[in-house]
Amino acid sequence: MKMNFNELTEFSKEFKRFSKKYKSLSKDLEEFKHVVDVVPLGNSKHFNIITKNEQCVIVKARLFCCYLKGSSLRIIYAFHYQDCKIEFIELYFKGEKENENYERIKDYFNQYS
């Protein structure tokens, strides 16, 4: 079954901001989508499950960016089992921000609890 991808408005804004800085980001995100399309919960130590329930699981992963020549971008997404859907929640640069936005994740997760 084909995976559906959505993104929160906040994610879209963050993505747009980083895309201006890192020109390869659109291509990098497409590559990331191919990986999670096949293995929704990730395939390496670069994927961590933050929280989960019956409907969805929230995952934090490293997003490899060619422009950065490293994996210092982090992406937070929700995988919904039944709907076969991935929703991108947050994108941040490890150098600017140590951790994910817990409030945003909690608000999102509470919608599906």
Distance in angstroms (rounded) separating the CA atoms of residues 7 and 89: 6
Q: Which residue has the higher pLDDT, 113 or 58?
A: 58
Q: In the predicted model, is pLDDT for residue 102 greater than 90?
A: yes
Distance from C-alpha of 20 to C-alpha of 14, rounded to nearest angstrom: 10
Residue 75: pLDDT band by 50, 70, 90 thresholds?
very high
Strands (E), the chain: 4-7, 47-52, 56-65, 70-80, 85-93
Q: With CA atoms as reference, report the closest residue to 90 among 1, 18, 2.
A: 18
- Asked if pLDDT for residue 112 goes beyond 80, the answer is no
pLDDT category of residue 2 using cuts at 50, 70 and 90: confident
Query: Does the pLDDT of residue 71 top 60, yes or no?
Result: no
Quote the pLDDT of residue 70: 64
4-111 CATH choice from 3.30.2310.20, 3.30.70.1070, 1.10.443.10, 3.90.550.10 = 3.30.2310.20
Q: Which residues contact 4 (CB under 8 A, 6 or more apart)?
A: 83, 84, 85, 86
In angstroms, the CA 83 to CA 85 distance is 5
Q: Name the CA dihedral angle for 82, 3, 5, 84, rounded to a multiple of 10 degrees.
A: 0
Task: State residue 44's pLDDT score.
Answer: 85
Domain-wise residue ranges, the chain: 4-111
Of the pLDDT bands very low, low, confident and very high (cuts 50, 70, 90), residue 25 is very high
- Please identify which residue in the block is written with the tokens 């929640």: 89
Q: What is the pTM of this model?
A: 0.93
